[in-house]
């Protein structure tokens, strides 16, 4: 068969579709890692190249953005020519942004000594689920000349298990090779530009077999921009700390007991290395077809220990052209359920003693969900760009890799044996 061609949300009142996960908690439901509590987004409403309006600076220019009344801020922002939110989504009356989670110490860790301003949408209960919270916050730092330096966007939302588009947008952004586990049993991952942390299901509502996580996710600048390792580590520590601080604040706002522990410090940085065509992504026996090797000379493999292990192959500069993902968190795995059910030609596990499962495949993506002993596990192979020579593209790359990838990864994580049967046509 012929191989086919290959967000950062603005601060609006509409929140993307998005339930909870496990781990990282003591007192208040969960497992461990919890103590008893007793770059600028180009699509966001950013300041003009000459800096924010003078009136806005006079209102907000301080160590952190100081609260004013909602009505007063509406008039001030509109008078300064700045787009404002609806009155009922304007900043809470708090001296610290993001629902009070950002104190001066955390603001300094994330933004250094730069002055900051913040916009915070109030936390709400999702009217559809009546349990999951949602809200957004945006913090911008400014240089001495008034120009924006960095911008951090924080969202609280339930991940979507009912929208393939929304699910793919989130997983593309927050499941990347450069992201590593936060440690201390925290159910989340972080890089120097992205971080996410799931709320425990005990807090978000009654656990459900098909529940998807409610997460706090943080975005700062472009993902995987190839920053120097020292900056990657520094920014990753800052975003991990911010994710824990905001999540703990959300837990308190919801009246949930317990708080997440501080993230562990890790020096792991995921770097590009030469591709081993006989053991793609470090998986013994997973061979890269000959016609694709010249276009995929470099590989980077995320570490184990987190909710997902992600490998990407391509050139020496991201993003890559091929991505292989194994999601071992059983609640996060539910985000892929719709795609695995209706995302292409159906897949079924072969006959044998291994776990059952289901999946789907098309010319660019193949996803399989297996019912492992630890819960649902997702195996995903996706071709991000049109790659390979004309001869190679006579055979679909996803079809070539998916069966062996599922088999080898299932064996590696103790979920096998799985023998995947492919349909005659994709």
pLDDT tens digits, 211-253: 889 999 999 988 766 667 888 899 999 999 999 999 999 999 8
Say if residue 422's pLDDT is above 70. Answer: yes
Q: Give me the phi and psi of 251, to 5 degrees please.
A: -60, -40
- Of residues 142 and 391, which shows the higher confidence score? 142
pLDDT tens profile 326-385: 999 999 999 999 999 988 999 977 666 778 899 999 999 999 999 999 999 999 999 998
How many other C-beta atoms are found inside a 10 Å radius of the C-beta of residue 29? 18
Secondary structure percentages of the chain, helix, strand, coil, to 5: 25, 25, 50
Q: What is the pLDDT of residue 51?
A: 43
Q: How far apart are alpha carbons 105 and 98 in whole angstroms?
A: 14
Q: What is the pLDDT of residue 354?
A: 76
Contact 110, 237 (CB under 8 A): no
SS3 226: coil
pLDDT over threshold 80, residue 390: no
Q: Which of 314, 342, 315, 312 is nearest to 325 (CA)?
A: 312
Predicted confidence band of residue 13 (pLDDT cuts 50, 70, 90): very low
Other residues' Cβ atoms within 10 Å of the Cβ of residue 51: 15
DSSP tag of 373: T
**Lookup result for tokens 């950062």:** 8
Per-residue pLDDT, 224? 67
User: Average pLDDT, whole number, for the chain?
Assistant: 77
Q: What angle do CA 82, 84, 89 make, to 5 degrees?
A: 160
Give the DSSP letter of residue 41.
-
pLDDT digits (tens, 9 = 90+) for 310-329: 999 998 676 789 999 999 99
- Run of H or E including 239: helix 229-253
What is the token pair recorded at 294?
Answer: 């010249």
What is the structure's pLDDT at 266? 85
Lowest mean pLDDT among 86-90, 135-139, 322-326: 86-90
Nearest to 34 by CA among 42, 25, 46, 43: 25
User: Which of the four pLDDT bands, split at 50, 70 and 90, describes residue 424?
Assistant: confident
Could you write out the three-class secondary structure of the chain? CCCCCCCCCCCCCCCCCCCCECCCCCCCCCCCCEECCCCCCCCCCCCECCECCHHHHHHHCECCCCCCCHHHHHHHHHHCCCCCCCHHHCCCCCCCCCCCCCCHHHHHHHHCCCEEEEEECCCEECCCCCCCEEEEEEEEEECCCCCEEEEEEEEEEECCCCCHHHHHHHHHHHCCCCCEECCCCCCEEECCCEEEEECEHHHHCCCCCCCCCEEEEEEECCCCCCCCHHHHHHHHHHHHHHHHHHHHHHHHHCCCCCEECCCCCCCCCCCCEECCCCCHHHCCCCCCCHHHCCCCCEEEECCCCCCEEEEEEECCCCCCCEEEEEECCCCHHHHHHHHHHHCCEEEEECCCCCCCEEEEECCCEEEEEEEECCEEEEEEEEECCCCCCCCHHHCCHHHHHHHHHHHHHHHHCCCCCCCEECCCCC
Q: Is the pLDDT of residue 110 over 80?
A: yes
Distance of CA 235 to the CA centre of its chain: 16
Band the pLDDT of 141: cuts 50, 70, 90: very high
Does 27 have pLDDT greater than 60?
no
Helix (H, G, I), strand (E, B) or coil at 6: coil
């Amino acid at each position: 068969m012929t191989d086919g061609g290959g967000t950062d949300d603005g601060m609006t009142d509409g929140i993307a579709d998005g339930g909870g996960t496990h781990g990282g908690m003591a007192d208040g439901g969960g497992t461990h890692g919890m103590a008893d509590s007793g770059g600028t987004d180009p699509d966001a409403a950013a300041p003009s190249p000459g800096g924010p309006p003078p009136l806005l600076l006079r209102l907000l220019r301080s160590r952190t953005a100081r609260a004013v009344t909602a009505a007063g801020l509406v008039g001030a922002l509109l008078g300064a020519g700045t787009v404002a939110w609806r009155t009922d989504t304007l900043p809470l009356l708090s001296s610290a942004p993001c629902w009070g989670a950002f104190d001066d110490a955390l603001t300094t860790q994330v933004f250094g000594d730069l002055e900051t301003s913040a916009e915070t949408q109030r936390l709400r209960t999702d009217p559809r689920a009546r349990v999951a919270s949602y809200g957004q916050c945006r913090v911008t730092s400014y240089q001495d000349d008034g120009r924006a330096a960095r911008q951090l966007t924080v969202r609280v939302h339930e991940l979507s298990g009912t929208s393939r588009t929304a699910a793919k947008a989130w997983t593309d952004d927050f499941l990347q090779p450069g992201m590593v586990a936060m440690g201390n049993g925290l159910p989340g991952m972080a890089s120097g530009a992205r971080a996410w942390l799931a709320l425990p299901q005990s807090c978000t509502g009654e656990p459900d077999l098909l529940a998807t996580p409610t997460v706090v996710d943080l975005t700062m600048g472009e993902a995987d921009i190839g920053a120097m390792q020292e900056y990657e580590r520094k920014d990753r520590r800052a975003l991990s700390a911010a994710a824990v601080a905001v999540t703990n604040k959300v837990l308190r706002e919801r009246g949930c007991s317990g708080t997440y522990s501080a993230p562990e410090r890790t020096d792991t940085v995921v770097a590009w290395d030469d591709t081993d065509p006989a053991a793609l992504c470090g998986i013994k026996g997973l061979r890269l077809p000959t016609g694709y090797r010249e276009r995929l000379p470099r590989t980077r493999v995320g570490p184990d220990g987190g909710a997902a292990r992600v490998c990407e192959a391509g050139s020496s500069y991201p993003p890559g052209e091929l991505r292989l993902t194994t999601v071992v968190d059983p609640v996060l795995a539910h985000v892929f359920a719709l795609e695995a059910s209706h995302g292409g030609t159906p897949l079924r596990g072969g006959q044998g003693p291994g776990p059952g499962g289901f999946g789907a495949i098309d010319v660019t993506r193949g996803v399989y969900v297996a019912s492992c002993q630890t819960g649902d596990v997702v195996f995903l192979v996706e071709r991000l760009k049109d790659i390979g020579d004309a001869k190679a593209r006579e055979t679909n790359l996803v079809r070539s890799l998916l069966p062996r990838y599922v088999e080898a990864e299932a064996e590696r994580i103790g979920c096998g044996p799985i023998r995947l049967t492919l349909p005659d046509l994709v």
